[in-house]
Amino acid sequence: MIGNLARKFTPVVLTLSLLSAPSLVSAEKTKVLTKQEKREILNKKLDFLREQVRKSKDFEKALKATTEKYKSLKVVDSDPEPLKSKNEISALSSYNEPGWLDLTDRVVYDDEIEEYVFVGYWEWDEDEGFVGDQPYDLIGVYTDSTSIMPIDPDGVVLQGWNGLGDEEAFFDTGTDKKSGKVALAKRANSGGAAFWINDRYVTNGMITAILDGVSTSSKYRAYLQYDHSWTDTSITGIGGSVSGGAGGFNISWQSKVEYFPSLYSNGDYFRD
């Protein structure tokens, strides 16, 4: 009796197994990653890039090593030259003619999670006397257009190092995690984010900013902006207030604070 029942029910069980297995495989293939899961995947790659920059102090070399390790990361094609605007004027300002401060930027695309990221790097020539004076300098990332190339307010990370490669500053706008000689100058929004850093210690660093959209026109780019200040008075720490965002940051410096004109990177976008 039991044997007969077993023979009757066994085919049914096998049929159910065969029907359920493909559906499970299909579910795994169609799984949609959450925003948090995507960020974890991307942050792992960006952490590797930061570590390569820290060790080598060579932005292009670090970027190449990262894209070779993570094949899903691609450096997008764009114009190497800045627009004929304030960026060119600033780049030719007298204090930077010898190349005392280098600003470099790129946009990378991660086709694993379909995200664009602006990556900017700055580095002082430590042999120059401009480094190390109070008050703090300003470093920021901004976009020309919040509708065409908006920055994710929760996707900006700054990391800065001294000449020996030791971390001196860290700020993550997504978690508000902060350490070292850095302060938020302008809270992150779709137009950008800015930070105060102590250039006595932070002589080179990198900002990554996740983009919620990408421009295919050279008229709309994302940039780094750097403002250097100094004073002979007793002012230490933060020596001004910041406004603006999209289109660049404006600084109202305290009286008796000396400063150079703002310096900008070339700016980057995706040339379609």
Q: What does the block give as tokens for 86?
A: 């304030």
Range of the domain at 119: 74-264
| 121: three-class secondary structure by DSSP | strand
The model's pLDDT over 176-186, given as tens digits with 9 standing for 90+, comes to 999 999 999 99
With contact defined as beta carbons under 8 Å apart, do 226 and 101 qualify? yes
Domain tally, the chain: 1
Residue 120: predicted pLDDT: 97
23 falls within a domain? no
105 falls within a domain? yes
Residue 84: predicted pLDDT: 44
201 falls within a domain? yes
The model's pLDDT over 229-243, given as tens digits with 9 standing for 90+, comes to 887 776 667 778 898
Q: State the Cα–Cα distance between residues 96 and 263, nearest whole angstrom.
A: 8
123 falls within a domain? yes
The better pLDDT of the pair 162, 259 is held by: 162
Question: Which are the contacts of 115, defined by CB distance < 8 A and separation ≥ 6?
Answer: 38, 42, 109, 210, 211
15 falls within a domain? no
Whole-model pTM: value is 0.82
Residue 14: predicted pLDDT: 37
CATH of the domain at 105: 2.60.40
**Range scoring the smallest mean pLDDT among 28-42, 88-102, 117-131, 248-262:** 88-102
pLDDT band, very low/low/confident/very high, at 194 (cuts 50, 70, 90): very high
16 falls within a domain? no
With contact defined as beta carbons under 8 Å apart, do 269 and 116 qualify? no
Question: Which are the contacts of 222, defined by CB distance < 8 A and separation ≥ 6?
Answer: 105, 107, 118, 141, 142, 143, 144, 149, 151, 209, 211, 267, 268, 269
Residue 109: predicted pLDDT: 97
CA neighbours closer than 13 Å in the CB half-sphere of residue 124: 26
The model's pLDDT over 96-149, given as tens digits with 9 standing for 90+, comes to 555 688 999 999 999 999 999 999 999 988 776 556 556 889 999 999 999 999
62 falls within a domain? no
Q: State the Cα–Cα distance between residues 154 and 58, nearest whole angstrom.
A: 27
Residue 20: predicted pLDDT: 41
37 falls within a domain? no
pLDDT band, very low/low/confident/very high, at 91 (cuts 50, 70, 90): very low
Per-residue pLDDT for 19 more than 50?
no
